[in-house]
Amino acid sequence: MIQLGLIGKGIQRTQVHQLHQALGELCGITVNYQLLDADQEPHLSLEQRVQRAISEGYRGVNVTHPFKAEVSAMVKQHGAVPETLGSYNTLIFTDGNIRGENTDYSGFKAGFQRTFDTLKPGAVLLLGSGGVGRSIAFALGELSARQIFLYDTRPEAAHVLAGVLQAAGYPCVTVTEDTLTEVAAQVDGIVNATPIGMYQYPGIPLAKTAIQAPRWGFDAIYTPMNTEFMIAMDACGAQTMSGYELFLNQGVDAFEHFTGISLNRDAAIQFYLQKRSMSC
């Protein structure tokens, strides 16, 4: 048996424990995956939560909102991610060492290719420069996005990330609130990498009138899947990729990192979806 977990806040609606347990079943492994919800012990820091998991024999943990920005300080060994990405959502514990992986980065790339096949990202408006936004930005760069337009309600954070992306060789410029609507009307794709749209943060990160004719759209949120943003993207005829696709692909990647087992991605995802449909 292996012990895994998710550290985050307000995570009781997630399916991640079910996904990892199903993947374990597929591989003949018993997986005990716990939801380590910060709402239940709000006084604990991320470091305290991670150290507790290590002391209790966890093989590793996933980390989600609002702790992603703190993870990099804890990583002692960098995994299969671009060194300049500097963001991690998956921690693997071995012999007192903490290895960091970023399955938002790898999962987005895999999900984009599974969903859109040969479609190229083109020019993309990326809303949000936090942990998941940073991961998606690097993935878009590796998918040969022609230009990344980066917007954040915290302009300084957007400027910092844009500088990192430019240094890595990826075309990126920041967008101001004054030019946001104009840029949104011109790009090929729009990505929501903000928390807006989650159950805890209802709403839409961009005015619906600004979403006119993009070819594709993606929302990192998957609970709920039918966010206002996704509804608006569907209404304008864009091809869409939901956060659920990212959830599935990053979960497969995380399981491989935790266990060292290589999975057939399509077969693993189909196995989980079949199990879930049977339990509904």
Residue-by-residue DSSP string for 58-96:
-SEEEE-TTSHHHHGGG-SEE-SS-TTT---SEEEEETT
Separation of alpha carbons 127 and 147, rounded Å:
14
Q: Which residues have CB under 8 Å from 94's CB, separation 6+?
A: none
Q: Sign of the C-alpha dihedral, residues 136, 251, 62, 84?
A: negative
3-state secondary structure (DSSP) of residue 7: strand
Separation of alpha carbons 55 and 130, rounded Å:
29
Spatial contact of 90 and 254, defined as CB atoms under 8 Å apart = yes
Count of CB atoms within 10 A of residue 191's CB?
29
Active-site residue set: 68
Question: What's CA 250's distance to the chain center, in Å?
Answer: 7
| C-alpha torsion 108→266→33→11, nearest 10 | 40
